[in-house]
Structure 1
Amino acid sequence: MSSTTIPLKKKRRLGSKPEVEPSQISPPKDTKKLKRAQDSTSHSQESTGAYSEELEVLKRDGQQDLELHRSECANLRQIMQDIQSAKMSDADDKDEYVANKRMQASLHFVTLKKLNRLSHFRCKAARETTMAGKQRVDSLHLQLQNLLYEVMHLQKEIKKCREFKSKDEDIELVDVDTFYREAPSEIATPHSTKKDPHKQRLARLDWELEQRKRLAEKLKDCQSNTDILAREINTKEEYLDSLQPQLATILQATIPVQEYLSMPIHEIRAQHQTAKLLPRPLYILYVQASAYQEARDSSMSLKIEGDKDAVISAGSASPVIEEESDSDNEESLTQSKRRRKTVGNKLEEKRQKLLAKHPLQVIMTLKFRDGSVLTLTFSYLTSLHIVSVGVDLKLSSAAKTTTVTSDLLSPDRLLSCLHPGDTGLVSPNASNAYQFSKLGMDSMSSYIGKTGHPYRWAQWLAGLDFLPEDSEATKATTAISTSHMESTLKALRSRTRARLALTKQLTSLERNTVPVPAQSVGLFPAKIAARLTSWATITKEDFQALLFMQRSPALELAEDYQHFYLATCSRGSAILKAAVLLSVDYPRCPPHIVIGVTLTGEHNHSNDNDIRDLESELNLHYDELVTEKSHDYLLSNQLQRLLMCFDVYVETRGEGEGAEGPTEFAREKMFIRLTRGRGRSKPYKYNAQYRYFTQR
């Protein structure tokens, strides 16, 4: 025991290594050093002959030690059982026997202790091996991360290089052909630049720089010339400005001469200066009226009146001046703040501003031979953007008026309806109605006395033209349009689709072919012997004149705007004529068909119950022919049913009635009963599932 424990303690002291941080030594090097240390330790121990449990662990098999541990435990159990049995027995030598067994048990305990120590060494070796492997993995992971970081850095650098844009890229260079054609050879050097794009780019940039230097010199020369011309212009402007006061003095001195010669040049010049302050509509009116006065009507006179200073101040006002004026009138501002305007006052101010006129007005005076003078005052409403007219008529002393004529010559009615419908009571600008409504004001007619009459011809004279108002009195509203939009569009689509389908059907019927859609083929038997022989359009008079139409309820349905057709069907000697009344609202309103048959006489609804039943089958039970996809082909389905029922009519005619009839009609249909009931009704109803005919 002592020989095994003492070397073990020494080897543990010798084999222990100082702890080293992973950051200081890389894991692979530590692993190699550890192996080298173990190999050197084992080699030194073997050479010295000392005992080492670490070497013993490496030489021993763990599975064998496990089996040895199990056998030692079993032996211990057996020894304990033997000791217990010996103590329970009455043998004389049981004490000696128990002592021997204790010695054996002690040896087994020593073996177990040895195995326990070996297992601890194995665990320690496994942990060291695992730690070495983990360190190696960490080292490789760090190397991988370093490589990834390097790759990422290289990718960023590559991206920067690719996305790099030089300032020369923003320069619009001349094309290559022009460069080689215009650039000198010492800059272009075609023998080297044509093969190397980089050198070519540098050469083009050099040529661009050379051109810009030349243009800069040219710009400098032009600027110097511009300065010289500007100085000359300033000198001439100063000379012309000095002439202005001299000319004004000369014109002022010529005023008496102008009055004596009836040439008011000074007055006309002042009017022209004032005309520049007019709004554009009144300016156009003034210019055109002046031209007409000079060319055609010398008795007409024009002048401009109003406050020129108000127009000039309104046009030259600036926020700075307003701020200065506000600072000068602090006392008035404090008073206005104390007396704040109510909502009613603000609304009234907005109404007054809406009806405000431009400060300048154009006065047109028309003189008549009897001495009467008509004065028209044209004003421009700045917010309403219309021109109004104030009318004033001064009668001569010779003109005498009565009560009736005075009403006719009143300013409000004198120029009313100068053009048809132009009463001057409604604004020609449709947007004015919304402006009045927004401020809760009445219509334009309520303010005629203040604004004047906005005649349409006045707008024309001022160069204004507005869209005419709707002749209907009904006012369009958004709510009505919204509520009817979807339904109207659907009705339009349905009507168009139905008319297109109806056109196809009528084209086919004119060729004596009934076009049955694929969705409705199963509603009729496979074989129908009757054929459509003609299809023609007729008038309302022809429709009403048909013999079998007499006393028919369909006559009350006929209207001029509807469509009328006549179809002729035949089977052998039997002839069927069908008058078709087609409504304009087809297919929502189904066609109405009236029938007359020629077969051993004339048969119609008035003398043949079978014909009446046939018409009922067509006109009352049309809903059976309507499907979702064949709704627009109702006319074709009704005509196909007409041919089918015509076969039933001729094939069952005379059966069970005792009357003689033609035998040319073979019975090709399957009937449950030929007739039924007191009315002897025929089997016009077709059962498509079982393919037989029966009565309703």
Structure 2
Amino acid sequence: MENILRKLFVKLKDAMDEMFEMKTKGHVGDVKQSAAALLFVPLKHSNREVKRQIKSGRDELQAEKSKVDLSRLQLQNLLYEVSHLKKEIIRCQKFESRDKFLELLSDKEYAIKFTDKDDHDKLSKHKTHLYRLDCELRLRKDLDNQYSVLMNSKKQLMEQNRRQTLRYLSFGPALRTLQESTKPLHDALQLNLDVEWKLSAIVKYLPRPLYILFINLQSLQRIKDEYSFSSEVVGYESDIQMQELLSCNSDESPPKERRNFSDDVNMPTGNTVDNSLERALKPHPLHLRVVMDSPDKSNELVLTIRYWELLKCVTLRAQCDSNNINGQGTFRDTNFIQDLFSHLYANDFGNCVPVPGIQYELQNFNFNEGECMKYLVNNGYGKPYCWLQGMCSVATVNEQKRYNHELKLHKWTRAVFDRISKRWRSWLRLTQQLRGLTYKEIDMYTLRENIYPDGLSSSLVQWSVITTEEFNIQNSDLLNNLTDDNSITYTSYRAVIVRGSAKMECFIRIPSNYPLETPLWILSVHWNGQHTSMNNSAIKMMECWTNTLRPQHLEKEDRLLYSQLFRTICSFDIFLETEGSMQATREYNKEKPYISAFTKRIRFRPYKFIKKGSIFTFKQ
């Protein structure tokens, strides 16, 4: 295009020069003028072509610029996304989950409640943690629902108490008017009702649980035919005032004065914990003392009941005092006084504080439940049993996480005292039997068990205490069938019964929850070799005949341990008399009447007895 334009411009210049020369010479050149004008046509065409190419070039340039702008915009977007992602990465690195600040269940509690290993072994660690948080959320929702239900029930009970209080207050003026109007009649009948129902002034200072228990004890104490006990408040009003004064001073003092850090640094860790527990765990200055008499008035069961402000529960400490002149009480020979209350109700051993939420409250004082229980037991303050809290109207949660709040206090208190009285009388009879067997203060001829009137040929020569290991090494099937229960302790004894050259060793185990479980007897006969239940079926039957005896099989005045001993000695006589008849040299004669010592292939000894008129005979 450039060459074409150059050629056109050259031709146009030549034509203009020729026309100028012709004008200067005076010639007229119309032909040349027309030819020169025609040269503008290709020039115009070339100009249009140039403009068209310029326009197409501009369009292409604009398209390329648009592409460049789009690429630049995309690069800027990528840079922005990179910077945003970097910020998100930093934010994720600094992210902390809120569950780190929550108090979750321990691994042991979570494994017991929620973990199912078959379903969650293949899950990743993150998904496992999410599942655990989901379980925690469900548990918290359930607890929140339970809390709402309890709060509603609490509001209902408070409303009922308010209505009942209003009703009782409305009875007050009428009762006072009735009392004043009937006072002349009381004086005429010599009824000192005011003196009888007047309580000591110290009672009003009792904490609410001890006050409720003391009032119920006072009402039960008036039933003298059924119960023989006395209750009193121990303590002085000055002790309460002193404790209130000390608590006010400790609250007003600054935190730095409450604790001497230099002393804590120099003091051992164990002493520091004990001192802090001693400062925090202080019982109420007033406590109750309940004294129960035995039927023969020879022993007293003393119950000391205290209330703890920090633990919000009541503890019981029991001891036995003897009224004998020589000072040797029945319970001094055994150590079952604590077992009497530990096994009073099932699964209530007093090994934990049965107050709802006490663990969380103790965390505020940097204590745990185990330290508090150890402190109470080591200092002789007793244990907080659930049945005791029920007598004091204290809500409890047992080891099975079951909530209980006893409302029928008078009925529950009577039931508890009935059970304590029965259990204590059973232990009194048992310890009297053990003492009589140990010191040979029994007469076997008076122990008839209402079975056989004649005397026994064998005699008891020894009754002594043995260790649990010595009892467990005995060879008997009864030891293999026993169930292990760590909450029950045992005391073992060894008795020796002799008749002629034959000797029988009896190994007796008495459980701590007696009389719920009866004593267990294991027998071993030394005569022409050693005979046990493992190698002789007769010994196995003797053990069965002794161990199947139950308190309900006896009469009211009979003693279980004496009756078991009587059965054992009687069975030993029957064994020697029936077994001796089959020996070549007869050492023991048949002194008891038998229908038949053995019949057919049955090798059971004739332990059963029948009575025909005045004749007693033994049979299989």
Q: How does the TM-score come out when normalised to structure 2?
A: 0.34
Larger Rg: 1
Higher helix share: 1
Q: How does the TM-score come out when normalised to structure 1?
A: 0.30
